[in-house]
Amino acid sequence: MLFNTLDFWIFFAHILPAYLVLRRRAQNVLLLLGSYFFYACWDWRFLGLLLLSTSTDWLLGNAISREKTPSGARKWVATSVALNLGFLGFFKYFNFFVDSAGALLAGLGFDPGFLHLHIVLPVGISFYTFQSISYIVDVYRKEVEPARDPLDFALFVAFFPHMVAGPIMHSRDLLPQMQRPRSPRWEEAMTGFNLAMWGLFKKVVVADNLAVIANSIFARELGFRAGAIHLGALAFAFQIYCDFSGYTDIARGVARIMGFRLMDNFNHPYFATCITDFWRRWHISLSTWLRDYLYVPLGGNRQGPGHTYRNLFLTMLLGGLWHGAAWKFVIWGGYQGVLLILERALGGKRLVTGFFEQEGLWGRLLWGVRVLVTFHFVCLGWIIFRCESTGPLWFMTRNFMDLTGWLRMPPGLAWTAGLYIAPLLVMEAFQYFGRNEQIVLKLPVPARALLYAASAFVFILWGRFESNAFIYFQF
């Protein structure tokens, strides 16, 4: 059941009225059953895995809080982390590592004869596993009280708006919302509805239409010419942004209608002035998770430049691998790591700067140049990320470095891509320069009505309602 299908909205229309008339605990029961139904629509066989993971972490979370000594608590933390990563490793990475080891041994002249299992990746496992780990660590760090009620904890893990593709919520932010009474208000519900509709617009109008262009280019239908590669990178950059941020907006919107607040996962990432800035604006819940539960425990920047660079690189490498069991994701993670290290060596946080901190025309122009340069490097990363295999990667990245490619994009397709990107850019610019994500709600009523009516026409005419899955579901 995808957010961009009628099935989901019919499901939600059934859940919401009942939710609004129930009390907190009954609401949680309803949401939990609804969430399990939502998950079972993907593949009911993995419901068992979700239940196993949930019950284990609930038991271990409580065991940690009962331990008198840190070493005793650490034992349970290690057990939980090992179990969670074990599930994730088996379902997501088993074949990758076996195949890679097999290829390596075959290259050395051995016949490994390893077993390749036909393992189906349970949808959302990367997200709910990370969320469960964050809960266990937070309980250990005494940043959050363990959930005494298994119902609250199960809902924290399986809450349907964010279960399959995030945002990966910190337990200290989401768990208390499960535990206290919620009374959704009309203004909140309207804001949530707006958010969800904007997310849907981004997905079905921008992302799914750009996907057609990006898919044809990455399938090498236009060859390896620089102009085509640049257009492919541009189309995919906005496709993946609108696909993922669209999902997040729908998740946040739907949750908000029910009185929950999920964290924002994106903050105008393509207005970033360097890669460090980009990672503060892109998939914020994952980068925060990696910072809090990987980079900092590795030592962060506390042990000198050498260790900092190592920690940065390792964090981004594993962050890349989190996205999928393929070498291209490892390379992509490594690429991001190298860029972060170079930036840290060159200027560190001084490179992170906003438009409103600039003084005078020159400063603002320079800000614009930095945004464009950063976007170019981000696009290079997207080529690695989107490439069908590592084979053509070299040709594609080499041709992408030919900057004249930006001016030599195939005109017909470039105009079409521009047509889809334009409404997004206009809205993003309004939000960014207006310093308000909900800027539309500040418009006078007639202007807002006109905007909604025009958007409805664009949504219906350009929207692709073909149940295209969200990209991040595969992660």
Partner 1 sequence: MLGVLLFAATDHLLWSNRDLLRFVGRYMPPGPNGDPLLSTLGVLELPRTGPPPVLLLGSSQVREGLDCAPFERRLPGRPCRNLGISAGSPLDVLYLSRQIDRRAPRHVAVLGLFPKVLHGRLKEPFVDGSTVGCLLSRGNWRRLSGSDRMEVAFGLLQGLSPTLRFKDGLWDFYGVVRPDLGAAWSFRLPPQPKRLLAQQPPQPPEYFALRLNKVDPEGVRPSLAGAHEEALERLLAHERQRGNRVIVIDFPTRPGYESTLLPETLENHRRIMAGLARRSDLSLVSAPDLPALTTGDFLDFTHLSRTGRSKVSDRLAEIVARLEGS
Residue number with CB closer to partner 1 (1 or 174): 1
Place of tokens 């179990």: 83
The one-letter code for the residue type at 374 is T
Instruction: Name which position in 356, 456, 469, 474 contacts partner 1 (CB under 8 A).
Output: 456
Shortest Å, Cβ 46 to partner 1: 20
Instruction: Name which position in 390, 460, 469, 474 contacts partner 1 (CB under 8 A).
Output: 460
Shortest Å, Cβ 165 to partner 1: 22
8 Å CB contact between 195 and 253:
yes
Half-sphere exposure (CA, 13 Å, Cβ side) for 166?
31
Active site residue 283: no
Distance CA 364, CA 273 (A): 12
Residue number with CB closer to partner 1 (425 or 450): 450
8 Å CB contact between 181 and 172:
no
Distance CA 248, CA 284 (A): 11
Residues in region 425-454 near partner 1 by CB under 8 A = 445-446, 448-453
- Interface with partner 1, residue 103, by CB under 8 A: no
Distance CA 427, CA 430 (A): 5
- Interface with partner 1, residue 372, by CB under 8 A: no
Residue number with CB closer to partner 1 (401 or 460): 460
The one-letter code for the residue type at 15 is I
Residue number with CB closer to partner 1 (372 or 456): 456
Residues in region 129-158 near partner 1 by CB under 8 A = none
- Interface with partner 1, residue 457, by CB under 8 A: yes
Helices (H) and strands (E) in the chain, counts: 20, 0
Instruction: Name which position in 115, 117, 120, 461 contacts partner 1 (CB under 8 A).
Output: 461
Shortest Å, Cβ 295 to partner 1: 45
- How far is residue 139 from each of residues 73, 115, 154, 318, measured CA to CA in Å? 10, 39, 16, 24
Instruction: Name which position in 6, 82, 365, 401 contacts partner 1 (CB under 8 A).
Output: 6
Shortest Å, Cβ 460 to partner 1: 5
Distance CA 160, CA 36 (A): 8
Q: Compute the C-alpha angle 23/29/30, nearest 5°.
A: 85
Binding-site string for partner 1 from residue 388 to residue 427, where x marks contact by CB under 8 A and - marks none: ----------------------------------------
Tokens representing residue 282 in the block: 């892109």
Tokens representing residue 415 in the block: 């105009």
End-to-end distance of the chain based on CA atoms, in angstroms?
A: 17
Catalytic hit among 14, 116, 323, 376: 323
Shortest Å, Cβ 206 to partner 1: 17
Instruction: Name which position in 10, 29, 52, 106 contacts partner 1 (CB under 8 A).
Output: 10
DSSP state of 141: T
Shortest Å, Cβ 7 to partner 1: 6
Distance CA 198, CA 295 (A): 34
Residue number with CB closer to partner 1 (373 or 456): 456
Shortest Å, Cβ 11 to partner 1: 11
Residue number with CB closer to partner 1 (12 or 382): 12
User: How many Cβ atoms from other residues are within 10 Å of residue 6's Cβ?
Assistant: 10
With contacts defined by CB under 8 A, name the span among 2-10, 74-82, 178-186, 417-425 that binds partner 1.
2-10
Tokens representing residue 451 in the block: 């905007």
CA 245 to the chain's CA centroid: 7
3-class DSSP state for residue 55? helix
Shortest Å, Cβ 244 to partner 1: 25
User: How many Cβ atoms from other residues are within 10 Å of residue 390's Cβ?
Assistant: 13
Residue number with CB closer to partner 1 (125 or 213): 213
Half-sphere exposure (CA, 13 Å, Cβ side) for 69?
3
Residue number with CB closer to partner 1 (6 or 365): 6
Shortest Å, Cβ 430 to partner 1: 17
Tokens representing residue 146 in the block: 């363990």
Residue number with CB closer to partner 1 (362 or 457): 457
- SS3 per-residue string spanning 173-201: HHHHHHHCCCCCCHHHHHHHHHHHHHHHH
3-class DSSP state for residue 51? helix
Count of residues in contact with partner 1, rule CB under 8 A:
16
What DSSP line would sit under 441-471, residue for residue?
Answer: GGS-HHHHHHHHHHHHHHHHHH---S-PPPG
Residues labelled catalytic: 323
Residues forming the site for partner 1 (CB under 8 A): 5-7, 10, 445-446, 448-453, 456-457, 460-461
